[in-house]
Amino acid sequence: MTTVQEYLKNSGVYEDLSKIISLVAEQAVPIRAAFISNQGYAGSVNASEEQQVAMDTWSDAHITRVLAKSGLVRAVASEEQDDITTFSTSARYSVVMDPLDGSSLIAVNLCVGTIGGIYDGDVLQPGKNLKAAFYILYGPVTTLTLSVGRGVAIFAMDADGVYQLQQDNVQIPEGNLYGSGGLRTEWLPKHTIFITDIETAGGKNRYSGSFVADFHQVLKYGGVYAYPPTKGLENGKLRLVFEANPIGFLAVQAGGAVSNGISSTLAIVPSNVHQKTPVYVGSRGMIEAIEKICST
């Protein structure tokens, strides 16, 4: 058995980077424990004008506090905070996070996650510069899906709270699952063509409303997760920095691809930490298909 710490050491990851990854991953234990007493809405809205649920604000405050205390982090940017918080300009790494992704599903006890990305230097860099990307999935088992730029590994938390390697060198197969956000009546014609083509070819619809959970099944079985531009929302709903980049980085490291329909979202230099982007992420063939449709 290989623990996440052993994996990071064997991968030659710098000590501080390794410590930050482990530190965030360990917070799965208190976060999971907090679900039971944080079921409702927080009564506040985030920078994207979305209602925050109690677990959004709880996990955001919790992880931010842990990172601040570590002394290892230069800055943190969170989907649940308006601005980037700088801790120490002498520290090397900055963390971006969606502390509780899919939080509206807590009240119905479906899978949710925590997404993280780590940059060497400041926050506003293109996703291709990520030094590490990961997500924790709070399913029947707590798993950590991680890339430090040398492929993708999945770890499962054991009864002692230790992440043990479950699968290394994960590769996205060319499967046929698909899940798309946005109301069908609001989709733009090119997205409708893309989804209709998948359905005609026998694709199976799997969409829960949690990006982490929906992407995880695409990672394992193949297919595509999409949150397209919709009428009136030409940049879709997902955030480039907190959602599209870490998950897109993992997809590419697993042999898949990520795109806004035109080109890779990992090349975009963010101008604003809360900027949104259309997202297509998954098997390479699926992403080639949407880019072909969008180019005509």
- For ligand AFP, the binding residues (CB under 6 A) are 50, 79, 98, 101-104, 181, 209-211, 214, 237-238, 243
Say if residues 193 and 187 touch (Cβ distance below 8 Å): no
In the complex, which residue's CB is closest to ligand AFP? 211
User: For ligand AFP, which is the closer residue by CB, 69 or 184?
Assistant: 184
Phi and psi for 66 in degrees, rounded to 5? -65, -45
Q: How many CB atoms lie within 10 A of CB 220?
A: 17
User: For ligand AFP, which is the closer residue by CB, 183 or 201?
Assistant: 183
CA 61 to chain centre: 19
Name the percent of the chain in helix, strand, coil, to the closest 5: 35, 25, 35
Q: How far is the CB of 210 from ligand AFP (least distance, A)?
A: 5
Q: How far is the CB of 295 from ligand AFP (least distance, A)?
A: 25
User: For ligand AFP, which is the closer residue by CB, 8 or 286?
Assistant: 286
Q: How far is the CB of 183 from ligand AFP (least distance, A)?
A: 8
Say if residues 145 and 117 touch (Cβ distance below 8 Å): no
User: For ligand AFP, which is the closer residue by CB, 8 or 53?
Assistant: 53
Q: How far is the CB of 167 from ligand AFP (least distance, A)?
A: 23
Q: How far is the CB of 59 from ligand AFP (least distance, A)?
A: 10
The Cα–Cα gap between 82 and 48 comes to 9
Place of tokens 């842990």: 66
User: For ligand AFP, which is the closer residue by CB, 125 or 230?
Assistant: 230
Exposure string of 169-190, with b = 16+ CB inside 10 Å and e = fewer, is ebebeebbbbbbbbeeeebbee
| Residues in the chain, total | 296
